[in-house]
Chains A and B, each alone.
Chain A
Amino acid sequence: MSKRVLCELCPTECQLDNYQIGGCRTRINKDGVLLSLVYGKPCAVAVDPIEKKPFFHFLPATTAFSIATAGCVLGCKFCQNWQISQANPEETRNQDLPPEDVVRQAAYYGCRSITYTYTEPTVFYEYMFDTARIARKMNIRNTMHSCGYIKEKPLRLLAKYLDAADIDLKAFTEDFYSRICGGRLKPVLDSLVALKQEGVWLEITNLVIPTLNDDMKTIREMCRWIVKNLGPEVPIHFSRFFPHYRLKDLPPTPPETVLLARNTALEAGIKYAYIGNVRGEAENTYCPQCRKLLIERIGYMVNQNRLNNGRCKTCGTTVAGVWQ
């Protein structure tokens, strides 16, 4: 009998012979059984402000216990965490931290949530899933920052324990995903719709890279798709790119470009558009009705929060998000 297996976790669908490791570097076919090589072995553990993820409409000014293991389902040439995302599990310095200990430590440090982040949480799906189930029982929220490159069945199962997701929508063309990331756009769009349908709080991050995805026409098209398929209340973060990994030949994104992208999003009907990696007023949350300042931020720090039970203090408009 053949010992070949088909991984059904991400759209890459690796077919693995005996003792072959998947493209994500974290799954091995051992005698016809697919095993996770990173379960309970995070290579990054930290307590971060939730704004760093970035979540701007989810428990502001709280901390998130953040974990990651080695590996990724994509191979983006601009990866900011390539030292761990493009590494094999044996190449990173890992801790021995089973799911129950993750939850215990999150509670010890007073974190309101656990975030599966830094690399791609899909690669440590089983670890994330088991941790999320325990955390839910302990009244600790679960959030993830993901590229959304995951198949529908595992995503919908995970969504039952997930409170919020920040999805990297890296661009809005198949060409970009194929050439720069080694993936496809369609499965990411499907994941966004599935998460919305499952009632998971959703925010989107778009890293604006000079010459590759900074065309305002495409950004407008992307924002219109978001408004149509996910609704105008999904916050979007336009982040400034800095040269990393295999895109060191490109300059950092001019701050004006991310500001232009934000304005394009607002014009397309998105209610909450932010900038990242650039300081300025566009980091703040304003009431979509009366335009009054609601949450003032400087980087990852919340200076003031003028929301009253998720409503604008001035006009009473409800601001979408998870506020407590």
Chain B
Amino acid sequence: MEPQLQASGNNITRRAFLGFFALGGIISLLTKRLRIERKQRPAMFWKRRDG
């Protein structure tokens, strides 16, 4: 019997692949946004100059 390189049960459909790809992109964008927000912490000593 020929050895199987990949179990047939693990095959992924194109639809599922695209779904995972999109999910990864969304999570990456969200964490990047979080990182940027954390980087730009409001300063402690300043005031508005009106006028």
A-side residues, CB < 8 A to B, are 1-9, 15, 27-28, 30, 32-41, 96, 98, 125-127, 129, 151, 153-154
Contacts and interface: CB of A to CB of B under 8 A. Distances in A.
Contact of B44 (A2, A33, A126): A126
Contact of A36 (B42, B49, B50, B51): B42
B42 A34 contact: yes
Interface in B1-51: 35, 38-51
Which 8 A-B residue pairs are closest in the complex by CB-CB distance? Answer: A34-B46, A39-B41, A4-B49, A34-B43, A35-B40, A8-B45, A9-B45, A7-B46
A289 B49 CA distance: 56
Contacts of B39: 37-41
A4 B50 CA distance: 7
A2 B40 contact: no
B43 A7 contact: yes
A129 B47 contact: no
Contacts of B44: 9, 125-126, 129, 154
Contact of B42 (A3, A35, A98): A35
Most buried by A among B41, B43, B50: B43
Nearest to A30: B40
Contacts of B43: 7, 9, 27, 34-36, 125-126
B48 A32 contact: yes
10 contacts: A2-B51, A3-B48, A6-B48, A7-B43, A32-B48, A37-B40, A38-B39, A40-B38, A40-B39, A41-B39
Interface of B: 35, 38-51
Given A36-B43, A126-B43, 16 more contacts: A1-B50, A3-B48, A4-B49, A6-B47, A7-B43, A7-B46, A8-B46, A9-B45, A27-B43, A27-B46, A32-B48, A36-B40, A36-B42, A39-B41, A40-B39, A96-B35
Nearest to A14: B46
Contacts of A38: 39
A39 B38 CA distance: 7
A39 B48 contact: no
A2 B50 CA distance: 5
Contacts of A41: 39
A36 B41 contact: yes
Contacts of B50: 1-2, 4
A8 B49 contact: no
B49 A151 contact: no
A98 B38 contact: yes
Nearest to A41: B39
Given A39-B39, A39-B40, A126-B41, A15 B49 contact: yes
Contacts of A33: 42
Contacts of B41: 35-36, 39-40, 126-127
Contacts of A154: 44-45
A45 B42 CA distance: 23
Nearest to B51: A2
A34 B49 CA distance: 12
B35 to A, nearest CB: 7
A179 B39 CA distance: 34
